[in-house]
Structure 1
Amino acid sequence: MENKQFGQIIMRLIKGGHMSRTETYETFCTILKNEVTEMQQGAFLAALCAKGETEQEIAGAWQAIYELDTEKVTVRTARPLVENCGTGMDTFKTFNISTGASIVASAGGIPMARHGARALTSACGTVDIAETLGVDVECEVSVVAKSIEKTHLGLFNAMSPKTHPNALGRILSKIFFGSTLNIAASLANPALPKFGVRGVYSRDMLIPVSKVMRELGYLRALIVNGVIDESDDLSIDEASVIGPTYCAELTEDREIKEFKIQPSELGISNAKPQELSPHGTKEQEAKAMVDLLRGKGSQTRLYAIALNASLVFYVSGESPSIGDGFEKARKILDSGLGYEQLRRWVMTQNREPKSGLRRLEQVSG
Structure 2
Amino acid sequence: MSASNKNILTPYIKSLFLEPPNLTPTDLATVLKCIFKRIPTDIQVAAFLTALRMKGLDHEPEYIAAAVSTILEFSNAIPRELVDSNGYIDIVGTGGDGQNTFNVSTSSAIIAAGMGLPVCKHGGKASTSTSGSGDLLGCLGVDLSKVNNLNVPEIVKRSNFCFLFAPTFHPGMAHVAEVRSQLGVPSIFNILGPLINPMPLRARILGVYSEKLGERYAKAASKLNEDGDATKTMVVFGEIGLDEVSPQGTTKCWMVERDGTINVQYISPKDFNLPEHTISEVKSGTPAENATTLYHILCQDKEEFKISDNKDVPNHPIVDYILLNTAALAVVAGIADDWADGVEKAKAAITNGAALKSLEDFKNAIGAF
**Alignment TM-score > 0.5, same fold:** yes
Q: TM-score range by the shorter chain?
A: 0.7 to 0.9
Contact in 2 for aligned 1:105/1:329 (Cα 8 Å): yes
- Matched residue SS, 2:139: helix
Q: Which residue of 2 is the match for residue 219 of structure 1?
A: 231
Deviations 1:22-78 (A, max 9, x none): 011011112212222224324433443452521111111112211123323335448
SS where residue 69 of structure 1 aligns? Answer: coil
- In the TM superposition, residue 12 of structure 1 has moved relative to its aligned partner by 5.2
Q: CA deviation at 1:150?
A: 1.6
Structure 2 Cα separation of the partners of residues 307 and 13 of structure 1: 42
Deviation at 1:185, TM superposition (A): 4.1
The amino acid that maps onto 1:200 is V
CA contact (8 A) 2:87 2:200 kept: no
CA RMSD of aligned residues (A): 2.5
The aligned amino acid for 1:274 is: S
Match of 2:30 among 6, 26, 40: 26
Q: 1:224 to 1:170 in 2, by over 3 A?
A: same
1:191-210 matches, within 5 Å, as 191-210=199-218
Given the alignment, which residue of 287, 291, 297 partners 2:296? 291
Between the aligned partners of 2:121 and 2:251, the Cα distance in structure 1 is 22
2-side partners of 1:322 and 1:73: how far apart?
A: 35
Alignment correspondent of 1:361: none
Q: Which amino acid aligns with 1:332?
A: A
For 2:246, the equivalent position in structure 1 comes to 240
Q: Within 2, Cα distance between the matches of 1:76 and 1:69?
A: 16
What is the count of residue pairs matched by the alignment? 342
What is the CA–CA distance in structure 1 between the aligned matches of 2:67 and 2:170, rounded to whole Å?
A: 14
1:308 maps onto 2:325 in alignment: yes
What is the distance in 1 between the residues matched to 2:52 and 2:274?
A: 39
* Cα separation, 2, equivalents of 1:18 and 1:294: 56
Offset, 1:93: 1.8
In 2: Cα distance, 1:18 partner to 1:114 partner: 36
CA drift of 1:196 comes to: 1.5
> Hey, what's the Cα distance between the residues in 1 that align with 2:344 and 2:37?
48
Is 1:326 matched up with 2:326? Answer: no
TM-score by length of 1: 0.85
- What's 2:309 paired with? none
Does the CA contact (< 8 Å) of 1:93 and 1:236 recur in 2? no
Q: Which deviations, in whole Å up to 9, do the C-alpha atoms of 1:306-340 show, x marking residues without a partner?
A: 11111221111111222211221123234443222
Partner of 1:146: 154
| SS of the residue 2:236 aligns to | strand
For residues 78 and 5 of structure 1, the distance between their equivalents in structure 2, rounded to whole angstroms, comes to 40
1:141 partner letter: N
Distance 1:239 1:157, change over 3 A: same
Distance 1:95 1:7 in 2: 43
Which runs of no fewer than 5 residues in structure 2 stay unpaired?
306-314
Match of 1:54 among 51, 60, 63: 60
Change in 2 beyond 3 A, CA 1:265/1:341: same
Please, which of 113, 118, 129 is the counterpart of residue 120 of structure 2?
113
TM-score (norm 2): 0.84
The 5 A counterparts of 1:1-365 are 2-4=5-7, 6-7=9-10, 9-10=12-13, 13=16, 17=21, 19-50=23-54, 51=56, 52-74=58-80, 75-77=82-84, 79-139=86-146, 140-160=148-168, 163-165=169-171, 167-172=172-177, 175=181, 178-217=186-225, 218-228=230-240, 235-279=241-285, 281-295=286-300, 296-297=304-305, 299-350=316-367
Equivalent residues of 1:250, 1:256 under 8 A apart: yes
CA shift in 2, pair 1:90/1:172, >3 Å: farther
CA contact (8 A) 1:227 1:236 kept: yes
Secondary structure in structure 2 of the residue aligned to 1:208: helix
Structure 1: unaligned runs, 5 residues or longer: 229-234, 353-365
Output one character per residue of 1:215-251: Cα deviation in whole Å (capped at 9) or x when no partner.
22233110001133xxxxxx11110011211000012
Q: Counterpart amino acid of 1:117?
A: G
Question: Structure 2: how far apart are the matches of 1:138 and 1:16?
Answer: 45
Task: State the structure with more CA Rg.
Answer: 2
Q: Which amino acid aligns with 1:319?
A: A
